[in-house]
Structure 1
Amino acid sequence: MRTKVAIVGAGPAGLMLGQLLSLMSIDNVIVESRPKEYVEGRSRAGQITPATVKILTESGVGSRIASEGMVHSTLQFHYEGATRELNFEALTGRTVTIYGQQEIIKDLIAARLKTDYPLLFDAADVQIHDADAHTPSVTFKLNGVQQVLDCDFIVGCDGFHGICRPYIADSLKFFSHAYPFAWLAVLAEMSPISRDVIFASHESGLALFTMRSPSVSRIYLQCSPDAQADNWSGAQMWDLLQARIEGRPEKVNGGAVIEKSIVHLRSFVAEKMQKGRLFLAGDAAHIVPPSAAKGLNLAVSDANILARAFERFYAHDKDDLLLSYSDIALKQVWKDVQFSHAMVMLFHRFDHNADFHRRLQTAELDRILGPGPAAQNFAELWVGSPPFEASI
């Protein structure tokens, strides 16, 4: 097989890049090691920024977002037994949308399957070759038959544990930070207790409430990093959520648990996000803690920047955007890493010197929600930056 751009991984970055390149009539092939059912079934983030909505809509996969997405304009911060609101739409003129990552994946796969561009699931023993040369390739087995995919460029969208980043690891610099706590993530058949996302800071730890639909809720509870999800009963989870939003009028009536897992919080950034003819996008290049819901949006941002760079290369034989891809993408990555880190520091219980940290958190929340520019700055960071655009 021969193509212009070989994309390794059918996560949000890979599928988004493939969709954009297909619309630009740039030949591309997506190679994914997992089956289609697994890729579509992974439950992940659910909040998308205006930039992500714009990119998805303009690429032809925004119809369900428009009809099913839940538009949000306000955040609720619950601390010291009381709730205060931040209306980020009033401050920025923009909203965010609740729409599950797995639904975006389904939309992108459905759009892809309507085209003639290949999307190859269940690819075994995927390997990349000669990424420093002018003729890189990807090899893999499909239905037991060895395949060779020759290409101009390879884009690694295969996640944190994929094969692409290790291939150029000797040329990269890594930045990472692990946090001393985790989240118990619960998806439950439970009507939302609030129309808005709630961040609760309690002396026993964080509670984060959001929703996936009018009948399904997503709850995150701070827990020990060595906690086991199976050890938590429904009653324990609902009682803890109720305790951490004490002072609010709602009564937590938890429904059937659809899934529960432990999410370890960490930040990770690889610099650069490219070497030779191999580029990294999405979780293959960076991980942010889910505290500000930036991971999916960064994956879409990476794909958009790369698509514009490939368009410029193939339409005008100019490689300046390809060469500067890392520099452009990393500006947004570090901005979102910093904001996500600040959100972690703002709401979690720190066992070491706990009273001191709580006083700092309260002071910072009062500052954000008080008079002055802090609320404006927070709101701008929450809704995110406009999408990258390039003159071609």
Structure 2
Amino acid sequence: MRTKVAIVGAGPAGLMLGQLLSQMNISNIIVESRSREYVEGRSRAGQITPATVRILTQSGVGERVHAEGMKHSTLQFHYDGSTRELDFEALTGQTVMIYGQQEIIKDLVAARLRTEYPLLFGAANVQVHGTDGNSPSVTFRHDGRQQSVECDFVVGCDGFHGICRPQIADALTCYSHAYPFAWLAVLAEMTPIAKDVIFSSHETGLALFTMRSAKVSRIYLQCSPDEDPNEWSAARIWDLLQSRIEGRPEKVDGGAIIEKSIVQLRSFVAEKMQKGRLFLAGDAAHIVPPTAAKGLNLAVSDANILARGFEHFYASDKDDLLLSYSGIALKQVWRDVQFSHSMAMLLHRYDDNAQFHRRLQIAELDRILGTGPAAQNFAELWVGSPPFTASI
């Protein structure tokens, strides 16, 4: 097979890049090692920024986002026994949308299958070759046959544990940070206790309330990184949840638990995000802690920036935007990593010198939720930057 851009991985970055390239009539192929059922069934983050909504809409996959997504304009912060609100729509004129990542994946897969360009699930032994030269290729086994794709460029959208980043490891400087806590993630058949996302910063740890629909709640509880989710009974979950929202009027009426898992919190950034004819996008290049719900949005941003670079290259035979990809993308990546890290520091219990950290957290929450410029700055970071645009 021959194509212009070979994409390894059918996560949000890979599928979004494929959708944008298809709109630009730039031939591409997506190769994914997992099954379609697995890819569409993974439950992930569900908050998308105005920039992501705009990119999805302009790329022709925004219909269900607008029809089924839940607009949010306010955040609630609960600490010291009381709740205070931050109206980020009033401060920025923008809202965010709650719409599950798995639903975006389904929308992108459905749109892809309506195009002429291949999307190959269940590809085994995927390997990348020749990206230091001008004729790279991707080989894999699919439907019982060994196959090879010759291309102009390869884009690794195959996640943190994928095969693409190691291909250019000699050219990368990697930065990482592991947090001394994790989240117990719970999906439950439970009407959300409020219309807004709630961050509860309790002296025993964080509780985060969000939702997937009007009848399904997503709840996160700070816990130890070595916790076993199977040891958390429903009663234990609801009791801890109730204790961490003490001072609020709600009585947690926990419904059936659909799933529970442990989410490890870490930050990771690879610089640069490219070498030769191989580019990295999404989790293959960076991981952000989920405190500010930026991971999915960064994946879409990477895909958008890279698509504009390919569009410019094939329209003008100039590679200046492609060569600038890392520099452009990493500005947004580090901004979101810093914001997500600051929220992790703000909202979790730190066992080391706990009372000192607690007083610092309360002072910072009071500052952010006051009437000064801190609220404006926080609101702007929460809703995110406008999408990258490039004129040709």
Mapped to 2, the partners of 1:219 and 1:168 lie a distance apart of 38
In the alignment, does 2:159 pair up with 1:159? yes
What are the residue-to-residue correspondences of 1:298-377 with 2, within 5 Å?
Answer: 298-377=298-377
Unpaired segments of 5 or more residues in structure 1?
Answer: none
Could you tell me which amino acid in structure 2 is paired with residue 93 of structure 1?
A: G
State how far apart, in whole Å, the 2-side matches of 1:259 and 1:138 are: 36
Shift of 1:40: 0.1
Query: What amino acid sits opposite 1:131 in the alignment?
Result: T
Superposition deviation, residue 177 in structure 1: 0.1
Q: Distance in 2 between matches of 1:372 and 1:107?
A: 41
Please give the secondary structure, in 1, of the residue aligned with 2:146: strand
Q: CA deviation at 1:303?
A: 0.1
Q: Hey, what does 1:99 align to over in structure 2? A: 99
Deviation at 1:144, TM superposition (A): 1.8
Secondary structure, counterpart of 1:378 in structure 2: helix
Structure 2 distance, partners of 1:311, 1:254, is 50
Deviation at 1:170, TM superposition (A): 1.2
Q: How much does 1:239 deviate? A: 0.8
Q: Does 1:34 align with 2:13?
A: no
1:133 and 2:144 correspond? no
**What is the CA deviation profile of residues 30-71 of structure 1, one whole-angstrom value per residue up to 9, with x for unaligned ones?**
000000000000000000000000000010000000010000
| 2:249 alignment counterpart | 249
How far off its partner does 1:143 sit?
1.5
Post-superposition Cα deviations, 1:104-135, rounded to whole Å, max 9, x if no partner, equal: 00000000000110000000000000010100
1:64 aligns with 2:78: no
Q: Deviations over 1:153-190 (max 9, x none)?
A: 00000000000001111110000000000000000110
The amino acid of 1:291's aligned partner reads: T
Using structure 2 for the length normalisation, give the TM-score. Answer: 1.00
In the alignment, what sits opposite 1:381? 381
Letter in 2 for 1:381: L
Aligned to 1:232: 232
List aligned pairs for 1:168-317, cutoff 5 A: 168-317=168-317
TM-score of the two chains, using structure 1 as the length reference: 1.00
Distance 2:281 2:9 in 1: 10
Structure 2 residue matching 1:326: 3-state secondary structure: helix
Identify the residue that residue 122 of structure 1 maps to in structure 2.
122
Secondary structure of the 2:212 match is strand
Which residue identity lines up with residue 386 of structure 2 in the other structure?
P
Q: Take 2:255 and 2:86, find their aligned partners in 1: how far apart are those partners?
A: 29
Which residue of structure 1 aligns with residue 90 of structure 2? 90
1:286 is displaced (CA, Å) by: 0.0
The Cα of 1:318 is off from its aligned counterpart by 1.1
- Match of 1:75, SS? strand
SS of the aligned residue for 2:2 comes to coil
> Partner of 2:372: helix, strand, or coil?
coil
Give the CA RMSD over aligned residues: 0.4
Q: How many Å separate the matches in 1 of 2:260 and 2:144?
A: 35
1-side partners of 2:275 and 2:188: how far apart?
Answer: 43
Q: How does 1:10-29 map to 2 (within 5 A)?
A: 10-29=10-29
Shift of residue 371, structure 1, vs aligned partner: 1.9
CA distance in 1: counterparts of 2:211 and 2:148, whole angstroms: 43
Q: Which amino acid aligns with 1:135?
A: S
CA positional deviation for 1:307: 0.3
CA distance in 1, matches of 2:91, 2:120: 44
Q: Distance in 2 between matches of 1:76 and 1:94?
A: 17
2 CA distance for matches of 1:116 and 1:189? 39
SS of 1:249 mapped into structure 2: coil
Q: Which whole-Å CA distance do the structure 1 matches of 2:224 and 2:33 have between them?
A: 32
Letter in 2 for 1:250: E
Q: Secondary structure in 2 aligned to 1:168?
A: helix
Matching residue's letter, 1:55: I
Provide the rounded CA distance (Å) in 2 between the counterparts of 1:105 and 1:202. Answer: 34
CA distance in 2 between counterparts of 1:321 and 1:341 reads 29
Amino acid at match of 1:333: V
The residue matched to 1:213 in structure 2 has which SS? coil
